[in-house]
Chains A and B, each alone.
Chain A
Amino acid sequence: MSTVAPERTLTTVRRALRIASPDERRRLAGAAALGAVSSLAGTALLALSGYLIARAAEQPPVLSLTVAIVCVRGLGVLRAASRYAERLVGHDAVLGTLTRLRAGTFAALVPRVPGAVGGRSSAELLDGVVADVDRVQDVFLRSLAPLAAGLLVALAGVAAAALVLPVAGVVVLVVAVLLGAVVPAVARRAGRGTAARLASLRARVVRDVATTLDAAPEIVMSGAADRHAGTVAAASDRLTALELRVATRDAAVGAVATAIAGLGVVAVLAVALVARADGRIGPTAVGLLALLALGLGEALSGLPQAARELHDGTDAVRRVEALAATAGPGGTGRPDGGVVRLRRVEVRRGGRTVLRDASLSIGAGERVALVGPSGVGKSTIADLLVGFVDPGEWTGEASVGGCDLRTADGRALRAAVLQLPQDPYLFDADLRANLALARPGATDDDLLAALRAVGAGDWLDGLDHGLGTPLGERGARCSGGERQRIGLARGVLARGHALVLLDEPASHLPADEAVAAIGAVLDAAPGRAAMIVAHRPEEAALATRSVVLTAG
């Protein structure tokens, strides 16, 4: 987990609030107000009932009680109704905010993949995007709103109690400060750092379990099953131990809050009884004060939990921000055409030199074959030309369409240069969706024609659901050859690129079919230049010129 610089919680809260749209902020404020109304009504209801019953004991004319009775009922309805409205309004607004935050975080990650996202594994990424974003809602719903309502109720309670009996007001004030500030601060100190540790342990265990599911046969056959199970169990036990500690701490904080709220009632009652014994207040005031304290205790005992949620939630906000901040700013240069110039380019990745002293030029509309032994860096050149190599990872001179690759805007670059990889990623969606991403708005006829152009006609005819056939998680239902044909069909469909990089996109197809399929991609967009990475001479022969890349 990244370390998050200490920062005032309120600063983070302010930023978190800016994630919400003005309309959502208004609705959140409305929800907080409704919550305050509900809490106030609940407390007033109890206080008034106490007054009512004590006043009734003085046997006044029944009619004089009517007003209080009506008020009690009204407050009851108000309390229930405003609580219901608060929850609906607040949750609806927050979930809308979350949806946008999730998409925004994802959008921020987009420019960083491929390329290490701070060395994070996919499990951690998922945890960051889904879980932390979910936790952000706690800032709004489970902390800010209850804290605001609690503050209002505390103020009103102190004022009301002080009006009846000043010393009772002081007692209520002490209880409110204890619950709203002291207990949360102590709990915060006790739990410092656990949230980050918990998150990283969780990510670790998710990764371990996922690996187990992925690699079970290998682990078993290598005789490492027991050892692996032990490793997973050790991490899992550490996670469980921490979860138990956190659960115990939370319950203890809850118990302390309950105890303080209850003892507050006892204290208010004590000062009321003393005042009554001294004759400073009458019997109705005792009834009112006792039940007011009871109501306040109920309303305020949730404050420590709300304060804790505020801290946890703002931690999640910071983690989401840190994740999004790992995305480096891109350049603004826009390539004009697809003319490639590489001079003495060297690429180092993960501590290894993967491309050494490479020079290459591709003219407008030219078809160049790139040949050379495996591992010499042909795919790295393709990655570089579409901006998938970090500026810090390469040296030398490289430009596309007259634009230096260091200053190129990635999106503009990829609008000019299309990369068709050897192993195209297939999404867990149907065939149609997997093809249509190459040309939004393509008709089914376009898609079918593209598939037939790359020789997938027979396969297509054998599919029960045609374009509607689901391809499975990571395209699990397709063979290597079928995957490549889908990738090539995407290349046939794509439009508007000045250069296409064919990075062995037909290596699983028989030679004659590979030539036909690559030819279909080349012919699909006249005037589009091409760089063909190929091992078979028949494929290289599709180019007008060959460039040999050698190691060193």
Chain B
Amino acid sequence: MARRGRQDLTTLAPELGPLTRRTAALGVAATACTLAGAILLAHAIALGVDGVPQTGEAARTLAALAAAVLLRAALGAAAEIDGRRTGHRAVAALRRRIVVATLASASSGAARPGALAATSVHGAGALSDYAGRYVPQRVVGAVGPVLALAAVAVADPLSAGLLAFAVPVVILFLALVGLQARDAAEHRTAALALLDGHLLDVLRGLPVLRAFGREEFQVREVERAGESYRRGTMAVLRAAFLSGFVLEFVAMLGTALVAVACGIRLAAGDMTFAPAITALVLAPEVFAPLRRLGAEYHAAAEAEPVLRALVDGGEREHLVPAGDPAGALPDPARDPVVLRGVRVVAPGRERRALDGLDLHVAAGRTTALVGPPGAGKTTVLRLLAGLRGPDEGTVSCGGVDLAAADLDGWRAGVAWIPQHPVLLPGTLRENVALGTGADDADVAAALHDVGLGPLLRALPAGLDTAVGDGGLPLSAGERRRVAIARAIASRPLLVLVDEPTANLDAVTSAGVVDALERLLRGRTAVLCTHDAAPLRLADEIVALRDGGRDRAAAGLGSAPTARTRTDAVPTAPVPTSGVPA
């Protein structure tokens, strides 16, 4: 991705916007209390140094000082709480946006979903630091020194003049090291993401590593990745520490100049004690806001890549068509689904995913799409599912263009069995009944239909058995059967099946095909496969190649491989309506 210029993080995430101004205002108020406290402290000291203190005045001054101290602590905490809340809420909002956008686009969209998921949770710390500490400090860093200088100027203009020279130096160094820190932080974030991804990869692949006795090697790999993370981190830290050192040094120098200038004038009798001690106590407060800003700068540097990742993670090409909620609801169980002249542009690729495809999906029959990977089979399924619309051409059912149909209703009638079904963390019941409202009897019957009856009986917890990540481990074949059971339980009008037997051995594959047979019988279905096993379920076979009908395999229309099922209409030539293939 191209590096974008520095910008305020609030423009990236509006969630951070208005509240951060309140946080900053609280921070400035706390700084004002600090300055008032310093002036009161100086006054109290002067009472003791200039002569014998009067009890009444001393008590009044100390009481005011105590009040300033308490108010300052309360306002500082309020600013921090306010900012941290904003940060956590912003991350929660972005997390929600990622989930919603993912579901709205029905696609992961992330190159490394695991890393994005981790950032959406663990990034909250960085954003909380950013909004809770950096944001108020950024404003305090601008306003605080000016206020402090003004206070010093009232007490002793010469000291203020001396300090005014030091401030620009501090700001210059702050800017210089800050820039460096930002670059280094970007590298570190990248290194950490790689480290996370690498660890997960290695943990998943442990069986292979152990099989080849390579686990020790991978331990060293983990160490090596950690080492490169260490180097990246040290680069960031060195920059941050250097900035801290420079700021502290210059601040100290400035304060020492004031002390010496005041001391000499005091000793010479050119100055009274009260303004001198006031200038001296206030002098560090000129630099303190800038120093704290420098210390918190890394928070901004670390929050920025986190925020970018989260914002990018929530941005999807919105391809899922909305349809017309008031539109007609075609019934694919009754009417054929027809694709006419469909063209679909694949994002980021030169070639079209589909290039002028015509397809007729007969009602109540199973149409198989065969062809090499990349032929556009999955894209056809997404079109039929109503998960995206064609860039050109139409998808219609019973004469109703899906673009103008009630797509929510349409999708509710479609069962989708993806190539790699994922089990959601939850019980077996929840996974089968997902979105269908099926009762226990339906769920058990569906599991029985797909040949998982014996498994269900063997489970002590039955339908309450936890599955999904961290639950009962199910084989690839069993996961597919659960997905088929889910489809059966949903009583769909149209079934879409993507590569049901990919990565399965012959026997498991036969079992899955048997299960599918129960689901597909008498239903309108489209089955994508490049495997021969499921073809026995097909009433029609359509060969795809490079986003269109495969002319070379055009004769496959009702090929010998497609066994005519006993309950299906004897294979008649599919009416292709004379549209050129």
Contacts of B99 in A (CB 8 A): 209, 212, 229, 232-233
A126 x B199 contact (CB < 8 A): yes
Expressed in whole angstroms, the Cα–Cα distance for A214 and B465 within the complex equals 22
> 10 A–B contact pairs at CB < 8 A?
A56-B267, A76-B253, A84-B244, A212-B99, A222-B435, A239-B92, A252-B81, A286-B48, A388-B207, A423-B503
Question: Which of chain B's residues have a CB closer than 8 A to the CB of A424?
Answer: 208
A contact residues, total (Cβ < 8 Å): 153
A-B contact count (CB 8 A): 458
A residues 76-120 in Cβ contact with B at 8 Å: 76-77, 79-81, 83-84, 87-88, 91-92, 95-96, 98-100, 102-103, 106-107, 109-110, 113-114, 116, 119-120
Asked whether A84 lies within 8 Å of B49 as measured between CB atoms, the reply is: no
- Are A374 and B219 in touch, CB under 8 angstroms? no
The answer on a CB contact under 8 Å between B237 and A109 is: no
Q: Are B505 and A422 in contact (CB under 8 A)?
A: yes
Per-residue CB contact flags for chain B residues 99-125 toward chain A (1 = under 8 Å, else 0) read 110110111111111101110111010
CB < 8 Å: which of B262, B263, B416, B424 contacts A221? B416
User: Given the known A-B contacts A213-B116, A215-B424, A350-B472, are A507 and B504 also in contact in the complex, defined by CB atoms under 8 Å?
Assistant: yes
Kindly specify which of B268-276, B544-552, B553-561, B572-580 makes contact with the partner chain: B268-276
Q: Cα distance A100–B506 when bound, in Å?
A: 45
User: Which of B147-155, B175-183, B222-230 participates in binding chain A?
Assistant: B222-230
A91 touches B234 (CB 8 A): yes
Residues of B within 8 A of A106 (CB): 199, 202-203, 218-219, 222
Cβ-based interface call for B161 (8 A): no
Contacts of A61 in B (CB 8 A): 267
| Binding-face segment, B355-363, B455-463, B562-570 | B455-463
Q: How big is the B interface, by class?
A: 35 or more
CB closest residue in chain A, given B420: A214
A349 to chain B, nearest CB (A): 8
List of 10 A-B pairs having minimum Cβ-Cβ separation, nearest first: A262-B69, A121-B470, A255-B77, A286-B48, A215-B422, A221-B416, A224-B435, A99-B226, A374-B507, A213-B113
Q: Which of A196-217 contact B (CB under 8 A)?
A: 202, 205-217
Interface of chain A residues 217 through 248 with chain B (CB within 8 A): 217-225, 227-229, 232-233, 236-237, 239-240, 243-244, 247-248
* A209/B98 in contact, CB under 8 A: yes
B287 nearest CB across to chain A (Å): 12
A263 and B66 contacting across the interface, CB-CB below 8 Å: yes
Do A57 and B204 touch (CB < 8 A)? Answer: no
CA distance A418 to B48 in the complex (A): 86
Q: In the bound complex, do residue A77 and residue B252 qualify as a contact, i.e. CB atoms below 8 Å apart?
A: yes
B256-A124 in contact (CB<8A): no
Q: Which residue of B lies closest to A264 (CB)?
A: B69
Contact among A73, A131, A211, A411 for B425, CB-based, below 8 A: A211
> When the two chains form the complex, which single residue of B62, B112, B205 contacts A270, counting CB atoms closer than 8 Å?
B62
Contact B69 A126 (CB under 8 A): no
Which residues from B are CB-within-8-Å of A84?
Answer: 241-242, 244-245
| A79 CA to B48 CA, complexed, in Å | 29
Among the stretches B37-45, B343-351, B442-450, B516-524, the one at the interface with A is B37-45
Q: How far is the CB of B479 from chain A (nearest CB, A)?
A: 11
Residues of A within 8 A of B215 (CB): 107, 110, 411
B88 touches A243 (CB 8 A): yes
Q: Tell me the dominant secondary structure on chain B's binding face.
A: helix
Of the candidates B74, B110, B259, B414, the one whose C-beta lies within 8 Å of that of A52 is B259
> Which B residues touch A494, using CB under 8 A?
212
Given the interface pairs A59-B267, A126-B196, the reply to whether A206 lies near B117 with Cβ below 8 Å is: yes
Is B321 an interface residue when CB atoms closer than 8 A count as contact?
Answer: no
Which residues of A lie under 8 Å from residue B276 when comparing CB positions? 53, 56-57
Residues of B within 8 A of A507 (CB): 504-506
Measured CB to CB, the nearest residue on chain A to B279 is A53
A240 to B: closest C-beta gap in Å: 4
Pick the interface stretch among B50-58, B137-145, B328-336, B396-404: B50-58
A351 within 8 A of B: yes
Q: Is A276 a contact of B53 with CB atoms below 8 Å?
A: yes
Q: What CA separation (Å) do A131 and B230 show in the bound complex?
A: 15
Checking A214, A259, A414, A479 against B213 with a beta-carbon cut-off of 8 angstroms, the contacting residue is: A414
Chain A contacts for B81, CB-based, 8 A: 247-248, 251-252
Q: Find B226's partner among A52, A98, A237 (CB 8 Å cutoff).
A: A98
Is A220's CB under 8 angstroms from B223's CB? no
Answer yes or no: A443 CB below 8 A from chain B CBs: no
Which residues of B from 55 to 77 have beta carbons under 8 Å from A?
A: 55, 58, 62, 65-66, 69-70, 72-74, 76-77
B502 contacts partner chain A, Cβ-Cβ < 8 Å: yes
Question: Is A480 interfacial (CB-CB < 8 Å)?
Answer: yes
Chain B contacts of A213 at CB under 8 A?
Answer: 98, 102, 108-110, 113, 116-117
Q: Which chain A residues lie closer than 8 Å to B241 at the CB level? A: 84, 87-88
Q: Let me know if B458 and A239 touch, CB within 8 A.
A: no
Residues of B within 8 A of A269 (CB): 41, 44-45, 48, 62, 65
Within 8 A of B (CB), among A480-513: 480, 483, 490, 494, 504, 507-508
B204 near A474 (CB under 8 angstroms)?
Answer: yes
Q: A72-B259, A236-B92, A428-B201 are in contact. Are A216 and B73 (CB under 8 A)?
A: no
| Cα-based distance from A50 to B244 in the complex (angstroms) | 25
In the assembled complex, B307 has its CB within 8 A of some CB on chain A: no
Q: Are B206 and A113 in contact (CB under 8 A)?
A: yes
Which residues on the A side are within 8 Å of B277 (C-beta)? Answer: 53-54, 287
Output the least CB separation between A88 and chain B (Å). Answer: 6
Smallest beta-carbon distance B366→chain A, Å: 18
Interface residue? B434 (CB, 8 A) = yes
**Most central of B41, B48, B100, B106 by chain A CB within 10 Å:** B48
B17 CB–A CB distance under 8 Å: no
CB-CB < 8 A to A220: which residues of B? 103, 106, 320, 387, 411
Q: Which of B256-312 contact A (CB under 8 A)?
A: 256, 259-260, 262-264, 266-269, 273, 276-277, 280-281
A411: B residues at CB distance < 8 A:
213, 215
